[in-house]
Amino acid sequence: MRVYYIANARMPNEKAHGIQIAKMCEAFMASGVDLTLVVPSRGSGSLKQAYSLAHEVPLLRLPVLNVQFLGPVGYRLTALQFIAGSLLYLWWKVLMGERFAIYTVDMDQFSFAPLVWVPRPVFTEMHSIKRTGFLLRHFFKRANVIATNALIAEGLSHTFSIPPERLLTEPNGVDESVLRNENSQQEARVKLNLPLDKPFALYVGRFYEWKGLEILAEAAPVSPLPIYVVGGTKEEYEQVTRMSGEKLHYAGARPVEEVPLWVAAADVVLVLGTAKNEESYRYTSPMKIFEYLAAGRSTVASRTPAVASIMQEDTAFWYEPDDARSLAHAIHEAYTSSAAPAKIAAGRALAAAHTWRRRAERILAFMRSADTLAG
């Protein structure tokens, strides 16, 4: 199968969407797909090196004049250049008689939509719900959709009347290497220069307001374990949350390849979610979920609809969103409960079913089925 993956994203980059795009390209290629990733020219560097991939991803950088410094208007102007370049490139391939499928992702609210003007099958990953409008209604009449959680799938189906045969729910994935991680807790702590005899709970993630990070500072004084944070500094945390972060321990932003060491070193790992933000509460699909479960660490998770739609009940210790004492209690249970080993085993089994490779295989089966139905 020939696939052009069209992504209006700077690649490589340090954000989660960059990792997700790179890992899916790698998994598609490992499954036999003849893939080219098409991105704007505003990025540079090797994806293989940036994301520790097994092979380099064939990459086409379409020229754009980057005017994002102008703010929202500049972003749209830059995106429109990429859209125009993508359409011209794909139409040239059509006129040359090439058969292919288009794969894309919702990096924004509009750059993916014109791709249905190319007479080839279009498959799109949706990481959030969309507001209705003429362009999107036209897009979803033709596109085949991969939603990253069940609530996104439900919302898109309701808004755009997408039939079930054109809609797949598929959460984000995890590297198989995490399942094979041979670092013991002590080895990981030695490599990170951490105390060998001091247990701790760990949160990993970039600092965004919508994540509900305030609960970490609220829970820290009553938590039975110290809470370590990988993803930013104390100053960045306090700027985002507008709270004192004195009781937390900060490792700062760490390289992607170092994060599995931190997870291996921890005793308890934390999946946050807040009811104060609709994206966090209903529509997120954190990659860290399966990374935590694959690493074999006792997991504490917020009982939001988004997280609960991805994790099974028996894979985590749950706390009520935005309730710091509930979080502290769940940390205590995760560290001391005799149920922890069974939950860890169930979590590893769930993660094994959601590697990037298995995700790609299910999506490819969906793509072939959709192509058969269309033909």
pLDDT at position 298: 97
Least confident of 262-271, 274-283, 353-362, 366-375: 366-375
User: Predicted confidence band at 374 (pLDDT cuts at 50, 70, 90)?
Assistant: low
pLDDT at position 372: 54
Task: State how far the Cα of 295 lies from the Cα of 315, in Å rounded to an integer.
Answer: 13
Taken in order 237, 243, 245, 246, the sign of the CA dihedral is positive
Q: Has residue 366 got a pLDDT over 50?
A: yes
Nearest of 297, 204, 299 to residue 255 by alpha carbon:
204
Q: Which CATH number fits domain 176-352: 3.40.50.2000, 3.30.420.40, 3.40.50.720, 3.30.450.40?
A: 3.40.50.2000
Check: CB of residue 344 under 8 Å from CB of residue 296.
yes
Task: State how far the Cα of 310 lies from the Cα of 85, in Å rounded to an integer.
Answer: 36
Cα–Cα distances (Å) from 77 to 84, 105, 228, in that order, read 11, 19, 41
Q: Where in the chain is CATH 3.40.50.2000?
A: 2-173+355-374, 176-352
Q: Has residue 318 got a pLDDT over 90?
A: yes
The CATH code belonging to domain 2-173+355-374 is 3.40.50.2000
pLDDT tens readout for residues 252-275 = 999 888 999 999 999 999 999 999
Write out the H or E segment, with its range, that includes residue 39: strand 34-40
Write out the H or E segment, with its range, that includes residue 40: strand 34-40
pLDDT tens readout for residues 170-189 = 999 999 888 887 789 999 99
Task: State how far the Cα of 67 lies from the Cα of 47, in Å rounded to an integer.
Answer: 24
Average pLDDT score over residue span 9-14: 92
pLDDT tens readout for residues 86-141 = 999 999 999 999 999 999 999 888 889 999 999 999 999 999 999 999 999 999 99
pLDDT tens readout for residues 15-33 = 889 999 999 999 999 999 9
Q: CA dihedral in degrees (269, 47, 52, 49; nearest 10)?
A: -130
Round the average pLDDT of the chain to a whole number and report it.
Answer: 94
pLDDT tens readout for residues 49-84 = 999 899 999 999 999 998 988 888 888 999 999 999
pLDDT tens readout for residues 201-232 = 999 999 999 999 999 999 999 999 999 999 99
pLDDT at position 373: 53
pTM above 0.85, yes or no: yes
Write out the H or E segment, with its range, that includes residue 371: helix 356-374
